[in-house]
Amino acid sequence: MSKQAFSLNEINNENNNYEQEQQLAFKQVDSQKDGNIATATTQNNNNINNNNKIENTNVTNNKTNANEEEEEENEEENLINNNFPVLSKNQVEQLNNLQKQLLFENCIKNMLTLIGEDINREGLLQTPTRVFKSYNKLCAGMKVNDPKEVLNEALFSSDNSQMVVVRDIEIYSLCEHHLLPVIGRAHVAYIPNGKVVGLSKIPRMVEMYARRLQIQERLTEQIAQAIIDTIQPEGVGVVIEARHMCMEMRGVEKSSPTTITSSLKGQFLKKETRKEFFDIINRTPNRL
């Protein structure tokens, strides 16, 4: 029995030793794992820091490049502005007619050269002069800014209180955004209040506001307001139908779209008067 007990004790001791060895081995493995994790974490942190440094360096370089490009553009712009200064309105007003013409023609020559043309070829020799003369006509309305200069000289007393309509007045203007033609018709009506205006003066006033750089909305309102201020009628109605070459020749390039604008004041805000006006201007014209 004692021998058997001794053997069992040896077995138990061996088991205990084995368990202790296993626990020690496990601790060593865990310690190694922790070390590997710590090492990996440190490496990841180092990689992140390095990446952040690279990104910051790239951002700094991009900003530096952008600033350098902006400085170069500003230098080029200043160089052009110094060599080709833009005149103010006051400076232009101090020039005589010949100086204005020469300056205008030189601008046209520069424009033709910039788009790749040869200003010395036969077909373009007189183009700057022709353009100068055509713009004098196209923008002639800018020389008269007071509608009273057009309308006051032809005001007459009258007891007529019925609507007066002048329709289908041809309009030729220039879009102020692209300097391209605006072509259309204006219909103008008013209800007299003791005064009537010579019929030819209404188309003249329409032309005064059309022959300049314009937008159709403003043109419509200017015509209506000029009649209100000058003739002081019971009411005014103005409708403009126009085609804009800035939509047809460029941009959306749609064929023949028509823009319609209207300005109604006084009695023309009433439904019956408005209907009468629109019925008249939409009626098929009789041949005279």
d(CA 278, CA 163): 12
Among residues 176, 234, 241, 248, the one annotated as catalytic is 176
d(CA 138, CA 155): 27
| Residue 107 appears among annotated catalytic residues | no
Among residues 187, 207, 222, 244, the one annotated as catalytic is 244
Among residues 101, 105, 107, 178, the one annotated as catalytic is 178
| Residue 176 appears among annotated catalytic residues | yes
| Residue 244 appears among annotated catalytic residues | yes
For residue 266, report the phi and psi dihedrals to the nearest 5 degrees: 65, -130
Among residues 175, 187, 214, 267, the one annotated as catalytic is 175
DSSP 242-278: EEEHHHHTSTT--SS--EEEEEEEEGGGSHHHHHHHH
The partner residues of 238 in beta bridges, in order of sequence, read 188, 263
Nearest to residue 261, comparing CAs of 221, 208, 222? 221
| Residue 178 appears among annotated catalytic residues | yes
Among residues 32, 71, 75, 177, the one annotated as catalytic is 177
Among residues 107, 221, 241, 246, the one annotated as catalytic is 246
The partner residues of 261 in beta bridges, in order of sequence, read 240
The partner residues of 68 in beta bridges, in order of sequence, read none
Among residues 214, 216, 222, 267, the one annotated as catalytic is 216
**Residue positions annotated with a catalytic role:** 175-178, 216, 244, 246
